[in-house]
Structure 1
Amino acid sequence: MTHIDAGAELDPVHPVPMPQRARGLTTGEVAERVARGEVNDIPVRSSRSTTEIIRANVFTRFNAIIGILWLIMLFVAPFQDSLFGYVILANTGIGIIQELRAKKTLDSLAVIGEAKPTVRRDGRATEISTSAIVLGDLIEIGPGDKIVVDGVCAEADGLEIDESLLTGEADPVVKHHGDQVMSGSFVVAGGGAFTATKVGREAYAAQLAEEASRFTLVHSELRTGISTILKYVTWMMVPTAIGLVISQLVVKENDFKDSVARTVGGIIPMVPEGLVLLTSVAFAIGVIRLGRKQCLVQELPAIEGLARVDTVCLDKTGTLTEGGMDVTELRLLGGADEGYVRKVLGALGESDPRPNASLQAIIDAYPDSEEWRCTESLPFSSARKYSGAAFSEGDGTTSAWLLGAPDVLLPAGHPVLAETEELNHRGLRVLLLARARGDLDDPAVKKGAEAVALVAMEQRLRPDAADTLRYFSDQGVHAKVISGDNAVSVGAV
């Protein structure tokens, strides 16, 4: 809830009184903290290091068996008799090159996709990298923003934070001035700012990530099977090698080098070199084909895991639909005046400094009326499923409005819900505009609200969505859509 106090200053451009804001750190204070090392300097690790990649691909059971036999053959036999060892270079090279390529891409994506928090320094809001945050920085947050460091809430305007990743608590937590905010959580409603109190490795999320970041290889039935074969082959090779050496030295009466060379030549066929190399080549071909489809494979066996997928869970927004929406219909209720309703919607759009996709569509469709002044606002909350605002209209009258889910704002059995259901069946997202009779900060404000209009919005379908789902269906893969939107509307999409 936004409350305007007597000490608030007026913005010459915007008619709404703006409250006093903290100016944040000065440039000098930031430099002092950087010099003391009080910086959020956690290294971003998006993949295994080069050393780990090389070690994992070189030190394998297959390479150990073939490598030892190869070295022995190089000392006791002509060079052409040791050509079998070069399968190690081919097999190892395929794995190393692929993982290094994936690592390069992942590291560049980590930089591109890094969150850019907004900090307030010298009274100005500036976007910086996460690693540039210093202790005591004042960080601005709004819906969808991630809390990147620990801190204490300095400003709160209907601020609600989802801490489910840290505590398991599903419901958003309302934050007030002085409350603690934890890194790893994110904002679901409202806005505000917090002062960083723990940065770098001292932050809660950084400590959790350090404890949990243990790299594990993708499970591969093919590689597991080959490893099992090699394990039994290794045990069988020992008595076989002893028997061959004895037969070559005693029975054939060959010299030691010749006996060893013949022994190695006898046991090499026991190692399934062709199977190992063929598996790596098949994986590599799969990587190349996926690369042509703009897919990134981190490990060769990941292709096998992809081939075993039988269910895909996906979101709707951004996956089946694009991010934006368009208002397609304004359905007036109870003889409401269309011109007046358009002014209300325009004012509601202007009242929220951080509009979500639905409100942004309303802003694009209905321009703000400069005659109206916002006196109170209630930011949208996923827990409430509605937002609101109170206005002083141009003629001096005041009014309060709610905008949100019809099934939340209206009682069960209300006749307007039937119209809402009909619009949902057409794949439209529907919001209800209702006049509120009480104070916006009253939890029961929706009771007795008067339905004024339904705003129907069309979600922009991705052009390739139908082809993608059809492909999954043809491959026998079940697609499950997980969404917080109205189930009927999602089903229509």
Structure 2
Amino acid sequence: MSDAAATTTDDQPTDAGTSTGTDWHALSVEETFDRLDSGADGLSAAEAATRRERYGPNELPAADGRSALSVLADQFRSVLVLVLVVAAALSAATGHVIDAVLIAGILVANGLFGFVQDYRAERALEALREMAALEATVSRPDGTERVDARELVPGDVVVLESGDSVPADARLVTAESLSAEEASLTGESVPVEKSTDPLDPETPLADRTDLVFRGTSVARGRARAVIVATGSDTELGGIATALRESSDEETPLQADLDQLGRRLAVGVFVVAAVVLPLLVLGGTDTVQAALTAVSLAVAAVPEGLPAVVTLTLALGVRRMAAENALVRRLPAVEALGAVDVVCTDKTGTITEGEMRVTEAWVPDETFELDDVAEDERLRGLLEAGALCNDATVEDGDPTERALVLAAEDVGMDVAALRERRPRTDERPFDADRRRMATVHGEDVYVKGGPGAVLDRATAYRGSDGDEPLDDATRDRVLEQVEAFSDRALRVLAVAEGSDPANPESSLTLLGLVGMLDPPREEVAEAIEDTKHAGVAVKMITGDHPGTAAAIAEQVGIGGEVLTGSEVDGMDDATLAERVESVDVFARVTPSGKVRLLEALQENGHAVAMTGDGVNDAPALRRADVGIGMGIRGTDVAREASDVVLLDDNYATIRNAVRRGRTIFDNVWKFVAYLLSANLAEVLLVLLASLAGYLILPAVQLLWINLLTDGLPALAIGADPASEDVMERPPRDTEKGVIDGGLLRVGGGVALTTTVVLLGLTFLTLDGAPTATEYAVTMVFTAFVVFEFTKLYVVRWARGTLPGTNRWLEVAVVVSFLLHLTVLYTPLSGPFGTVPLSLADWGLIGGALVLAVPGFVASAVLSRRWARDTGTAAQ
């Protein structure tokens, strides 16, 4: 049972299945009743009421979710946001109300956008609780009655029929042709046949065939079962507890921005503390010096960064939605670009999520399904399989439905066939007989396990008619069964009889069908592309090891297979080592999935986890990026995810990784551009202050900041993907946004700007004892021109070519026109500028010509660093 059921408390007696951690699957029916102090007729209503007071309702506990106010407050708790709040306050205190309002508006808009996205994640536990809102048929000593499933208690006996949802974890008492659909809990792709026989205590969850579990459903048959665990003590309840206790992981970008915020916070105070006394000692008025120091500190803070990041992520969200990926949490978009391991479920994610007949055999010939259209014996085999069958094209047991679909695929109208040859008698499938027989007038058809059918067969249908089934032929049949099984195919034998009174005697074997849940056609290519991009792919499934190995090999994963029991038996150090070399994990429990995920994360990997079942929810929540399935996924899996694939297509993950890498590239370019401008401002003002000059007064610093952090910077967020974005390995999340490449291009460009503009400063001062309006205007305007040029240099350093973003060109033109207004309109007065002549513009152009080689050299050094460190395509 779940970990939640594995503790004993003094206030709950040991007859309760909810508190002892008993291996119920290892007990006989009689022992189970004894432990629960119950019986075959169940509990009386009075006893059930008494136990309900002890154990509480059969429902999951309320989640301790965050309130809406708490979620909103979380949007403003990063260090960078706090620095920006201080910057807004400083701007307001120094009279720059417009700047203060701008910063505040950016913060509020960013916070509200993040709130809308983040609050939806809190619905995961609510969806989990609503899953089991159902009724159940319970047995009482005086008969059966329908009750609210929340009223069930350990010891109650429930009646289950085909199509019923299982209301609680229960030990089977009787089972008539019973199979259960458990894919959402265990990952098993086909219904699990159930029986009442006790099992070995070490039997893993997915193989506990004498138990049924809350949140699963009855695929076929009828049963009576005694409740052994309710509410949070069920397997589903254990998952709910793990989901509630897990916390959202901080994405790499969030961590990077917080680190950047801390560095800037320190830098802001250092800048202000150094510049202020230098200006005062140089003869600048104390008030003006203080205003400039504060303005320079504000200029060093990237108030546009949250807006750029939010816009970039929002654009990514829109583009991903068009590519069938719904993003539920904005930072997850970028986090996909840092992922270096994808842990994927098998059923419904890599595979199509439904059983299909892929091969068929008649003595002694094997066919792919699409080869059988004109073969008489194969058509007879599929016709028999469609008649000895309770499924339809739309609904039914997945194995039986696969036979119906196979018949339809070769041109049969199964509904019309059944009308022409109605069923007159039947023997339903039984777990002991492992066969099903139907009678259609004088004809009999039987299907079931190969051994069970061969036991009753005396002949086989050969190419020249019916032949006696001798030992040699039996051996050939069994060899073919083994060949199908080796390819992880589920094998059924189909036979024909001629004695309606004894439908399972003297059968003639028609052949075998092999079926499996096949891989999606596009998955192999998508996995190859993902691996080519440096992202490892690991399959973690609850399905059978043989099936997992076969599917993994088909889609290009392959390699050794570890089972859940082997994983559970490893200590953390051993698991951390093995998880690096093994790519396929089968029969893994929900807690095992989380443990594998944590081992990868402890090894330094950024992990994306895909899944569609209830059992995937804890790992989805804890992964760096949780990816749920939109079509086949449960509500719980979708709500626990950061990204939902609307088409359940693994190929969409590849597109999402590309989009995530592009988003990080754009954030990287903006930070490089921003920091190069801020560093140049600080260096220029600092060095000019040492010489006694105030070269960029406060209002001009803030104007430069507004232009550089404004439209051009925002336009970078719309940059397209560079051609090599999927040729690079995943980025190292420990290096952050500010890596060696960024420092080289940002630092080099800033130093070049500082040196050239210092030269321009002293050239235009022409020996004046104080900064003249003309000199200040020249340096001010040249700085703006340099910034617009640096945009293209920084973009090229990250592999983005000029002319690929029309919005950037528009932004540069508009921003340049805005700057002209402070030169040639009455705004020149407040900004302390004078109009510039054509010759002055020529001088600025000459300064730019001198700076460009330094800009380009910085970008080359950045690209070379990326290649040398393996962070760019070779």
Q: 1:271 corresponds to which residue?
A: 301
Deviations 1:221-271 (A, max 9, x none): 33323322222222233343344555678865545xx77654431212222
Aligned match for 1:487, one of 542, 550, 555 = 550
Does the 8 Å contact 1:375/1:392 carry over to 2? no
Matched, 1:95 2:114: yes
Q: Tell me the CA shift for residue 67 of structure 1.
A: 0.7
Taking structure 1 as the reference length, the TM-score comes to 0.62
Deviation at 1:70, TM superposition (A): 1.6
CA distance in 1, matches of 2:384, 2:522: 41
The aligned residue for residue 285 of structure 1 is: 315
| Residues 253-332 of structure 1 mapped to structure 2, 5 A cutoff | 254=286, 261-309=291-339, 313=344, 315=346, 320-321=351-352, 323=354, 325=356, 331=362
Where do 1:62-461 residues align within 5 Å?
62-86=80-104, 87-100=106-119, 102-103=120-121, 110=127, 114=131, 119-120=136-137, 132=150, 134-135=152-153, 139-141=158-160, 149-151=168-170, 153-157=172-176, 169=204, 172-175=207-210, 192-196=223-227, 198-201=229-232, 203=234, 205-206=236-237, 209-210=240-241, 213-244=244-275, 252=284, 254=286, 261-309=291-339, 313=344, 315=346, 320-321=351-352, 323=354, 325=356, 331=362, 346=387, 356-362=397-403, 370-374=423-427, 377-378=430-431, 387-389=434-436, 402-404=448-450, 414-416=475-477, 430-433=491-494, 452-456=509-513
Q: Which moved more, 1:421-430 or 1:261-270?
A: 421-430
Is the 2:437–2:445 contact (alpha carbons within 8 Å) kept by the matching residues of 1?
Answer: yes
One-letter amino acid matched to 2:131? E
Number of residue equivalences: 438
The answer (yes or no) to whether the contact 1:159–1:174 under 8 Å persists in 2 is no
1:54 aligns with 2:69: no
2:438 touches 2:445 (CA, 8 Å); kept in 1? Answer: yes
Amino acid at match of 1:374: R
CA distance in 2, matches of 1:156, 1:23: 16
Q: Matches of 1:118 and 1:327 in 2, distance apart?
A: 39
Deviates more, 1:156-165 or 1:89-98: 156-165
On the 8 A contact 1:23/1:124 being kept in 2, the answer is: no
Q: Which deviations, in whole Å up to 9, do the C-alpha atoms of 1:441-481 show, x marking residues without a partner?
A: xxxxxxxx99823243677989xx43565455456467777
Compute the displacement of 1:119 (Å).
1.4
Indicate the SS of the match to 1:206. helix
Question: Aligned-pair distance for 1:42?
Answer: 2.7
TM-superposed CA distance for 1:194, in Å, is: 3.1
The answer to whether the 8 Å contact 2:121/2:328 transfers is yes
| Separation (CA, whole Å) in 1 of partners of 2:321 and 2:311 | 15
**Other-structure match for 2:801:** none
Distance 1:149 1:297, change over 3 A: same
Q: Is the 8 A contact 1:377 1:390 kept in 2?
A: no
The answer to which structure has the higher strand fraction is 1
Partner letter of residue 431 of structure 1? L
Contact 2:178–2:220, Cα closer than 8 Å, also in 1? yes
> Displacement, 1:37?
10
Alpha-carbon spacing, 1:193–1:260, altered in 2? closer, same or farther (3 Å):
farther
Change (3 A) 1:355 1:387: farther
Cα-Cα RMSD = 6.1
Paired position in structure 1 for 2:576:
none
Per-residue deviation, residues 371-419 of structure 1 (Å, max 9, x unmatched): 545388217xxxxxx9335899999xx999742599x999999323566
* 8 Å contact from structure 1 (residues 327, 362) kept in 2: no
Change (3 A) 1:319 1:109: farther
Equivalent position amino acid for 1:173 in 2: R
Secondary structure of residue in 1 paired with 2:449: strand
Shift of 1:65: 1.0
| Mapped contact 2:160–2:224 kept (Cα < 8 A) | yes
Residue aligning to 2:618: none
Q: Are the structure 2 counterparts of residues 322 and 203 from structure 1 closer, same or farther at C-alpha, using a change threshold of 3 Å?
A: closer
C-alpha displacement of 1:63: 1.2
> Corresponding residue for 1:42?
60
Out of 426-435 and 195-204, give the one that drifted further. Answer: 426-435
- Counterpart of 1:40 in 2: which secondary structure? coil
Q: Is the 8 A contact 2:356 2:403 kept in 1?
A: no
Q: Does the 8 A contact of 1:63 with 1:88 survive in 2?
A: yes
Change (3 A) 1:474 1:37: closer
Distance 1:236 1:89 in 2: 25
Q: Which residue of 1 aligns with 2:831?
A: none
CA distance in 1, matches of 2:82, 2:473: 71
Shift of 1:328: 8.8
Question: How many Å apart are 1:190 and its aligned residue?
Answer: 6.9
Counterpart CA distance in 1 for 2:235 and 2:483 is 47
SS of residue in 2 equivalent to 1:277: helix
Of the structure 1 ranges 106-115 and 90-99, higher mean CA displacement relative to structure 2 is found in: 106-115
Distance 1:277 1:145, change over 3 A: farther
Largest Rg, 1 or 2 = 2
8 Å Cα contact 1:73/1:261 also seen in 2: no
Structure having the larger proportion of residues in helix: 2
- The aligned amino acid for 2:435 is G
Find the residue that maps to 1:58 and give its secondary structure. Answer: coil
> 1:64 Cα shift?
0.8
TM-superposed deviation, 1:30 = 10
Q: CA deviation at 1:186?
A: 8.2
How much does 1:274 deviate?
Answer: 3.6
The letter for the 2-side match of 1:172 is: D
Instruction: Confirm or deny: 8 A CA contact 2:177 2:429 kept in the other structure.
Output: no
Cα distance in 2 for residues equivalent to 1:492 and 1:414 = 32
Post-superposition offset of 1:154: 4.6
